[in-house]
A and B are shown apart, each in its own frame.
Chain A
């Protein structure tokens, strides 16, 4: 593990893959829960875990530098199911990128167990991994100025669900009515790092009657 100091009281721990970052994040969260680690924030990301608000970063840095990346944690806990209408405007483009029919995009996406690698971009937005690398897709050449809340989208190796309407450049493949973020709910975020997720196809939206 490559440990980079960040300012006076934070460390950025760099590993070689997203899977290693998820394993390290799970281990650090476990150590904090045991009382063995005092830290304000543990923020996983694509290849790193940030530890912010450490009392003695230098000591932890030397400890982590000498340590091995922990093994991946067992897949325990409930799987969050998100019903999706696979009706996104970019479904055909994604099928073309994958070189398959649109129905196959739905079959593969709904047949995959995802895991929240990390969150960011907006409260409750999770970067979900699980699709094999051959299904990576680029972002849209021109981002949309407004992506509707509940849009299920792909970019790079990730799947995500827009918690609210916002600009965005991801490929939209579907829509869900599931509320990703509700600050009056406990917990506010449906998805947090480590959460397992499955997308469940539902029928097309009924046409709105005039």
Chain B
């Protein structure tokens, strides 16, 4: 019997297991979670011949190092980085065969934030509510990787319906986020609504999987007081009392009491997940489709 497992040699700053997440449980207070740059996660799965729902690894800025106990095919995508097997450079964004016991090193991101690592057969940790994703807000799913951890792997599909190489978007030098106004834009002054969609912001270093926080002009409220808690969606731009907008990402809370000035188009969120702190951000008002 082969030992389908992956030893974590270097976990990196924050490496988590991610798949398509666990949508459908928001009414129980369960965040959707899932890979932040979902197209990148889907692509690395395709490169190794795994289905879209297979679990992959999501690293944060400084990569990770892994030692598979059996021969596997891996693919590394998302934030571009140097990839080596036993010290020898191998391609990024393409399937790579890694022999049993060899050391796969996923280097620090050259640009972008989150690199995705698919391993043929998928990461087979125990699912929670149908998903293997780590949810950093509520602590559901497997804990973030630690040095020395061992992750079980699934059996790869035969035959491999894999892709040889695929183009991936470069991480953004400037992040342009299309937003539809509301539902609580009327809680802000007209000046604040104009400021939001005309003045430049920057990605704050305090950003995480819960939200992309903004440095920039504070948005003034037109009405004081508290909004009774209401349901929150992916991409909602919530404005806490300090006036700095926060774009909700996959691990966002399911309800919240700060007003939402607008909602970022889902198609723009993968780029948001790759925007390093300091990246200039522009919010552009668009009509609802």
Contact = CB atoms under 8 A, between A and B. Distances in A.
Contacts of B254: 43, 119-120
A78 B129 CA distance: 24
A188 B28 contact: yes
Interface in B232-289: 232-233, 235-236, 253-255, 260, 263-266, 288-289
A118 B232 CA distance: 13
Interface in A169-201: 183, 188-189, 192-193
B183 A119 contact: no
A119 B128 contact: no
B183 A43 contact: no
Contacts of A127: 229
Given A119-B27, A189-B28, A49 B231 contact: yes
Contacts of B167: none
Nearest to B260: A6
B26 interface: yes
B212 to A, nearest CB: 16
Nearest to A43: B231
A78 to B, nearest CB: 18
Contact of A44 (B27, B128, B138, B139): B27
Measured as residues with beta carbon below 8 angstroms from the partner, the interface class of chain B is: 20 to 34
A49 B182 CA distance: 16
Interface stretch (A7-15, A62-70, A145-153): A7-15
A188 to B, nearest CB: 6
B231 A12 contact: yes
Contacts of A12: 183, 230-231
B228 A123 contact: no
A161 interface: no
A104 interface: no
Contact of B255 (A6, A45, A123, A183): A45
A41 B183 contact: no
A123 B230 contact: no
Interface of A: 4-8, 10, 12, 40-50, 52-53, 118-125, 127, 164, 183, 188-189, 192-193
